């Protein structure tokens, strides 16, 4: 009798820069099932359809719905998913954005980040 293969852990990458989405997807897809969304509103659709992820890597500054706005929506819709969100952002942000991020307990990774560091960070969170 064949044993069912274990389900791969799921990661959602949310970024309005398609090249960054593809780079992270390609870098993590050997170990994880990786989906992408082009902004917070697109990502919210995944959750509204009942999809769940082990980790959400989300840019902060995006059109239509920012990363912090997505986090706020997830607090209401799927709190467990809000807790799994990690922000990925530029090294320097406007003070008002830094202030908003300071009020959210989630991890913040600063760009540029090496793929090796990102992989190790993701592996550590998946333990």
What pLDDT does 38 receive?
A: 96
Query: pLDDT tens digits, residue range 22-40?
Result: 999 999 999 999 999 999 9
Cβ(25)–Cβ(51) below 8 Å: no
Confidence of residue 1 (pLDDT cuts 50, 70, 90): very low
What pLDDT does 2 receive?
A: 44
Q: Which CATH architecture has domain 10-126?
A: 3-Layer(aba) Sandwich (3.40)
Among 45-49, 64-68, 92-96, 112-116, the range scoring the smallest mean pLDDT is 92-96
Buried b / exposed e along 71-94 (16+ C-beta atoms within 10 A): bbbbeeebeebbebbbbbbeeebe
Cβ(14)–Cβ(39) below 8 Å: yes
Q: Where are the domains of the chain?
A: 10-126
Query: pLDDT tens digits, residue range 42-55?
Result: 999 999 999 999 99
Cis amide prior to 112 (ω within 30 degrees) = yes
């Amino acid at each position: 009798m064949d044993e069912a293969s274990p389900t791969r852990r799921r990661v959602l990458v949310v970024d309005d820069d398609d090249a960054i989405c593809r780079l992270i997807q390609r870098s993590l897809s050997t170990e994880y099932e990786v989906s992408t969304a082009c902004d917070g509103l697109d990502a919210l659709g995944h959750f509204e359809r009942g999809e769940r992820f082990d980790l959400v890597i989300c840019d902060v500054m995006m059109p239509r719905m920012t990363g912090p706005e997505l986090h706020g929506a997830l607090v209401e819709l799927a709190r467990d998913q809000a807790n799994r969100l990690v922000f990925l952002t530029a090294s320097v942000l406007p003070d008002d954005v830094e202030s908003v991020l300071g009020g959210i307990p989630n991890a913040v990774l600063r760009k540029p980040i090496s793929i090796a560091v990102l992989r190790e960070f993701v592996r550590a969170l998946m333990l």
